[in-house]
Amino acid sequence: MDPNSGTSQNSSFEGLIGVAQSDITPPVNIYSRNWGAAEHDIAEGVHRPLILTCITFQASEKDKPLVLIGADLGFWKNSAGELIFRDKILKSLNLEPSNLMFCLSHTHAGPSICRDDFSNTGGELIEPYLYFVVNATVEATKRAISKASKSTLTWAYGKCNLASNRDLPQSEKNRFVVGFNPTQKADDTLLVGRVTNNDNKIVATIINYACHPTTLAWQNRLISPDYVGSMRELVESGTQAPCLFMQGASGELAPAQQYTGDVRVVDKHGRRLGYSVMAVLESMQAPKKEIFFVKVVESGAPLALWEASNYHPQTSLSCKLIEVEYNLKELPSLQEIEAQYDACEDRVIKERIWRKRGIRVDLGDGDTVKVMLWVWKLGNSLLIGQPNESYSEFQIKVRDELSPVTVAVMNLVNGSIGYLPPAGLYPKDIYSVWQSPFAAGSLEKLTEIAINSAKDLLAANFT
């Protein structure tokens, strides 16, 4: 074995890194009906605060930063509202669209952030709340940049068994329901980023994990970040540093026990993830250290001696914004959907139709739609973000193809439209297929484009 070869366990970036947080908890009487089965429209209290965390990356002070935002928010019901929201942030910070990834945690116990809900009870608070979040984002980003110091971002993979497969066959009705399927294995990959300053003090952690925050459901009347809240509390207590969460490719992944109003269940879920994060942090070498093979020591057995030595993290940053054009399924027209909505008297079905209307408004009347994909290179690691709810097949294949490069993969970045299930599920009666406006093969197309774009970005930095 080459005695100069390291473990290749650490992927790092060294440069100017800034960190800031803001509390973005909304007023309790804001419209927050996220479940068709819910019998209430507004929140009545707060379980845990909603937090926005910002981390900025620069190779030097003269460079425009890459701005990574993690926010305890649910989902955008239409693209127009999200574009207005993001455009205000970009203009306020004088950023290019490629330089911002605004990542939603996907909590289903948060406020509506959709302008289509303005007319509902508590909906009059949505627009002021969106302005509040815009201002909080801009302020946190400026604060992070102003405090940025030379730091090292180091990544390590781990495991957490919180996520389970949630596509459960209901054979007697020849359909799938959304709930724990114990016969299918779930992707349990956990990726942890640690930011340390030149004094070797942890100044931030980044968590990338794929699991729907759907523990608190229609019975719950409290604003909550779901499991992310107690996870963050545990990790921040252990590190004394802000924690940023990025939702992974969780299209078919969720906790086995969910759909409850019991906050003890959601806090337990968060602690499971939090302790897994702490275990990964404990497994990591000190910043800019990696264990290297030294020699063989002859004893009762021939012993391989490995020791920690210094290495130099990469200092380059680059980003790429890619347009992905998806084919659409055959969809009813906007007029047909609105007619269905007006004729429907069932509260649950009416909510489904309303969401379908929002998607149709987004897509227009064409046969295809163009959706953006973000790829960032931080040193010798990659962040890949896109707005839809892709299945975990996306992150599994991307990571396999790009190994040994460390890759964070995120859903619900800069928007949200619909699910991206594998093509093999399209003949099935399953929620992720009938909710999705995208034709079969869309997930596979995204995966191929993401891999090729990442390879191009990696190659460009070695030419």
Q: How confident is the model at residue 7 (pLDDT cuts 50, 70, 90)?
A: very low
Closest Cα to residue 71, out of 245, 271, 249?
Answer: 245
- Domain membership of residue 341 (yes or no) is no
Query: How many other C-beta atoms lie within 10 A of the C-beta of residue 300?
Result: 5
Average pLDDT, stretch 348-372? 77
pLDDT at 356: 67
Q: Between helices 442-460 and 393-402, what is the axis angle to 10°? A: 30
- Cβ pair 439, 367 in contact under 8 A: no
Q: Percent of the chain having pLDDT more than 90?
A: 85
- Domain membership of residue 336 (yes or no) is no
- Cβ pair 317, 59 in contact under 8 A: yes
- Domain membership of residue 456 (yes or no) is yes
- Domain membership of residue 297 (yes or no) is no
Q: How many distinct structural domains can be found in the chain? A: 1
- Domain membership of residue 305 (yes or no) is no
pLDDT at 338: 76
- Domain membership of residue 253 (yes or no) is yes
- Domain membership of residue 307 (yes or no) is no
Q: How confident is the model at residue 327 (pLDDT cuts 50, 70, 90)?
A: very high
Which is it for strands 51-58 and 11-23: parallel, antiparallel or unpaired?
A: antiparallel
pLDDT at 408: 98
CA distance 351 to 342: 12
- Cβ pair 10, 290 in contact under 8 A: yes
- Cβ pair 451, 401 in contact under 8 A: yes
CA distance 335 to 340: 9
- Cβ pair 78, 115 in contact under 8 A: yes
pLDDT tens for each residue of 248-269: 999 999 999 999 999 999 999 9
Per the structure, the complete domain to which residue 53 belongs is given by 11-286+317-328+367-460
Q: How confident is the model at residue 462 (pLDDT cuts 50, 70, 90)?
A: low
The three-state secondary structure class of 461 is coil
pLDDT tens for each residue of 177-195: 999 999 999 999 999 999 9
- Domain membership of residue 291 (yes or no) is no
Task: Give, in order, the Cα–Cα distances in Å from 427 to each of 179, 301, 390, 443.
Answer: 19, 57, 18, 15
The three-state secondary structure class of 37 is coil
